[in-house]
Amino acid sequence: MMSTSLRRLLDALPAHQHAAAQQRFARRQAVLGDRLQRLYGHLPGHAAWFDGLMAEVGQLMAARPATLQALDATREDRPDWFCSPDMLGYSAYADRFGGNLRGAAARIPHLRELGVTYLHLLPFLRPRAGESDGGFAVASFDEVDPRLGSMADLEDLTARLREAGISLCADMILNHVADDHPWAQGAAAGDPGLRDFFHVLDRDAAAAYERTLGQVFPEAAPGNFTHVPAMGGWVWSTFYPFQWDLNYANPAVFAAVATAMLRLANRGIEVFRLDSTAFLWKRLGTDCMNQPEAHLLLQALRALVDIAAPGVLLKAEAIVPTRELPGYFGSADAPECHLAYHSTLMTAGWAALAEQDASLVRAVAAATPPLPPGASWLTYVRCHDDIGWKHLLAEAGSLERLAGVAHFYNDGAGYADGVGFQGGLATNGTAAALSGLEAATSDQAIELALRRLLLVHGLALCFGGLPVLYMGDELAMPNDHAYRDDPARAHDSRWIQRAPFDEARAAQRHDLASPTGRAHAGLRRLIRLRRQLPDLAAGVPCTALDAADPALLALARGEHVLALFNFSARTLVVDLQALGGAGTLALEPWDQAWLDRRSGRHLGDTMEEAR
């Protein structure tokens, strides 16, 4: 007999969608039902609530445009489509990249030239009025920021990107909303249903939680609670005081957020970057991160996506210690996100540069389990946020060691031009600035800085995952100090790496006499090489081999690829035989070499010859 929930789903759909919907529901109903039961089953009216949710999901499936339904079908046939070495991501703020959504579309040729197949545009929905944490305080899930365009522009952009073979990724900021979102305004105006969308505590209860909570922005936004007189208490606000955490113990919140996401999926967004996923569930006496219920929520969300929009990918943005990262993929029976930021790999790459020792990268690689099928790491070098050193504590063994790394980047102790953040245990700055290009004056210093820039990118490109470039790094863009003069941004040094796209540098990108041209060419060469190596697909195992010199990172990928990275200022003579190959190889300071594992030949050369 058909369950009422399935009946409600099908009732919303035209006949031609029934068979597929029924099949997908059959595949996911067990996990969906179970997770929602565990989260909300104790509440009165649970079964009716679930049936209502399925009716809403059915309506959204009925409204899904035919082109997107076709995309769903193609991707269901090839669920690992995003794991191939053809995939390359790019991340940018729409306004900084192209002025607005139309301007971002006009940059498709720039993306195509690099080989980009995935574009993450940072928050472009209508943000809070005034300060909005770069759009991470969302006032409406159903409106585009009018300064950036309209919903029609968004639909047009997704269609044009799709035509160019590029999937649009958008942020789904599901941990919090802006204090001027209608849910927050309604709550402040006394609507009891909406008040339950948030965590409102009295002073003592807030203090009890605060005892075991960390702080994300200890300087710019200390504490985790904001006293809001209109709410008669302390509102949970993990990030800025104007970002109110949503209360996922309330099923209405889950339903409202899930359906908002599916509405956006129907506009053509193909990947959702689930912002701050680690923080979704609160538990007294803990740091309220990575709680089991946060995973149940993600499993339920994934099941809904698999039913309603199976062409869509979910990406976990959980900036947490290595051991917590794999959890965000879920399990074979209960998958969560398709993609997860490998944030400690990124952090370890920079730490290895500072220490001239690759041991932290080796430790992270060793702590990284093989990927489940149909999942991929997201690898990267820089993004719009800071590099948080503390997440490497397990690998580093002590905060002192990480303070040393932070000191190297933040205090001008070497070639790097970074600025401190989060009380000093984090760093901001562009990849070029942190690599020393900004400070480099001699040809020699420029050459070495470029090698370091390519070294960290090489690691992201060959570790195994979907590599995402951060806008401007392909042009070796320097730090932008303008934020210091803007009272709305001066307190948040992350703005140093959020400069507008530099037209002059872009015009120089083919000029091999310029550092920009050399960075761009070097990056493109690695990207082209990667595309030709099936062993660099996400799922192929990656092993950090024992290397005789601590500064050497030797990564073996599959049967064919051996990638060597020299994290030091010394020339290393590498015994390839000890690494399972043949002969020796001299690796210049901060240089890298991608070799055939057995012959020891440079893969680049082999590829050139084959062409």
Please identify, using beta-carbon distances, which residue of 340 and 540 lies nearer to ligand OTU: 340
Minimum CB distance to ligand OTU smaller for 343 or for 566 = 343
Nearer to ligand OTU, 136 or 234 (CB): 136
Strand partners, 335: 330
Q: Can you read off the two tokens belonging to residue 525?
A: 């060469």
Cβ proximity to ligand OTU: between 111 and 178 the closer is 178
Write the single-letter amino acid at 506. Answer: A
Task: State the Cα–Cα distance between residues 85 and 317, nearest whole angstrom.
Answer: 22
Nearer to ligand OTU, 309 or 340 (CB): 340
**Other beta carbons less than 10 A from residue 229's beta carbon:** 7
* Number of residues near ligand OTU (by CB under 6 A): 16
CB of 586 to ligand OTU, least distance (A): 39
DSSP string covering 151-209:
HHHHHHHHHHHHHTT-EEEEEE--SEEETTSHHHHHHHTT-HHHHTTB-EE-HHHHHHH
**Which residue from 317, 417, 438, 480 is in contact with ligand OTU, where contact means CB under 6 A?**
317
Q: Is residue 167 within the footprint of ligand OTU (CB under 6 A)?
A: no
In whole angstroms, the minimum distance from the beta carbon of 319 to ligand OTU comes to 4
Binding mask 336-365 for ligand OTU (x = CB under 6 A): ------------------------------
Q: Is 317 one of the annotated active-site residues of the chain?
A: yes
Closest distance of CB 421 from ligand OTU, Å: 8
Q: Where are the beta strands (DSSP E) in 370-492?
A: 376-380, 387-388, 419-421, 426-428, 466-470
Q: Tokens standing for 420?
A: 């401190």
Taking the C-alpha atoms of residue 459 and residue 437, their distance in angstroms, rounded to an integer, is 19
Question: How far is 467 from 255, CA to CA, in rounded Å?
Answer: 32
Considering only the stretches 19-27, 132-140, 324-332, 593-601, report the one whose residues sit in contact with ligand OTU under the rule CB under 6 A: 132-140
The closest alpha carbon to 327, from 298, 362, 357, belongs to 298
Q: Is residue 506 within 8 Å of 522, Cβ to Cβ?
A: no
Assign residue 204 a region: left if phi > 0, alpha if psi is -120 to 50, beta otherwise?
alpha
Find out whether 193 and 252 touch, Cβ atoms under 8 Å: yes
Q: Closest approach of Cβ 388 to ligand OTU, in Å?
A: 5
β-bridge mates for residue 564, sequence order? 554, 593
Nearest to 81 by CA among 117, 55, 105: 117
The answer to whether the CB of 108 falls within 8 A of the CB of 167 is no
Minimum Å gap between C-beta 25 and ligand OTU is 32
Is residue 609 flagged as an active site residue?
no
Q: How far is residue 582's CA from residue 169's CA, in Å, rounded to a whole number?
A: 43
Q: Pick the binder of ligand OTU from 94, 201, 308, 318 (CB under 6 A).
A: 318
Residue 319 makes contact with ligand OTU by CB under 6 A: yes
Identify the H or E element spanning 609: helix 603-610
In 3D space, the residue among 250, 310, 251, 304 whose CA is nearest the CA of residue 5 turns out to be: 304
DSSP reduced 3-state for 395: helix
65: DSSP letter: -
* Beta carbon of residue 227, minimum distance to ligand OTU (angstroms, whole number): 20
CA proximity to 94, closest of 68, 64, 69, 126: 126
Closest C-alpha among 454, 441, 461, 467 to residue 591? 454
Q: Is 216 in the site for ligand OTU (CB under 6 A)?
A: yes
CB of 317 to ligand OTU, least distance (A): 5
Among the residue ranges 75-83, 102-110, 219-227, 312-320, the one whose residues contact ligand OTU (CB under 6 A): 312-320
Cβ closest to ligand OTU, residue 317 vs residue 357: 317
Looking at residues 260 to 299 of the shown chain, list those that interact with ligand OTU (rule: CB under 6 A).
275-276, 278
Q: Name the 3-class secondary structure at 446.
A: helix
- Closer residue to ligand OTU in complex, CB, 320/593: 320
> Is 593 a residue that touches ligand OTU (CB under 6 A)?
no
Instruction: Single out the catalytic residue among 56, 95, 153, 275.
Output: 275
Binding string to ligand OTU for residues 373 to 392, with x set by CB under 6 A, is what?
-----------xxx-x----
Output the smallest distance, CB 426 to ligand OTU, in A: 6
148, 173, 264, 419: residue in contact with ligand OTU (rule CB under 6 A): 173
136 belongs to the binding site for ligand OTU (CB under 6 A) = yes
Q: How far is the CB of 585 from ligand OTU (least distance, A)?
A: 37
Task: Let me know how long the chain is.
Answer: 611
- With contacts defined by CB under 6 A, name the span among 56-64, 315-323, 554-562, 598-606 that binds ligand OTU: 315-323
Q: Are 227 and 237 in contact (CB under 8 A)?
A: no
Strands 176-178 and 243-245, bridge-based pairing: antiparallel
Q: Are 155 and 102 in contact (CB under 8 A)?
A: no
Give the shortest CB-239-to-ligand OTU separation in angstroms: 4
Name which of 213 and 448 has its Cβ closer to ligand OTU.
213
C-beta of residue 284 within 8 angstroms of C-beta of residue 199: no
Q: Which is nearer to ligand OTU, 183 or 239 (CB)?
A: 239
- Residue among 133, 153, 317, 385 flagged as catalytic: 317
Number of residue whose CB is nearest ligand OTU: 136
- Interface residues for ligand OTU in 465-494 (CB under 6 A)? none
Residue nearer to ligand OTU on the CB measure, 177 or 552: 177
Q: Which of residues 518-537 bind ligand OTU (CB under 6 A)?
A: none
Residues interacting with ligand OTU, by CB under 6 A? 133-134, 136, 173, 216, 239, 275-276, 278, 317-319, 384-386, 388
Known catalytic residues are 275, 317
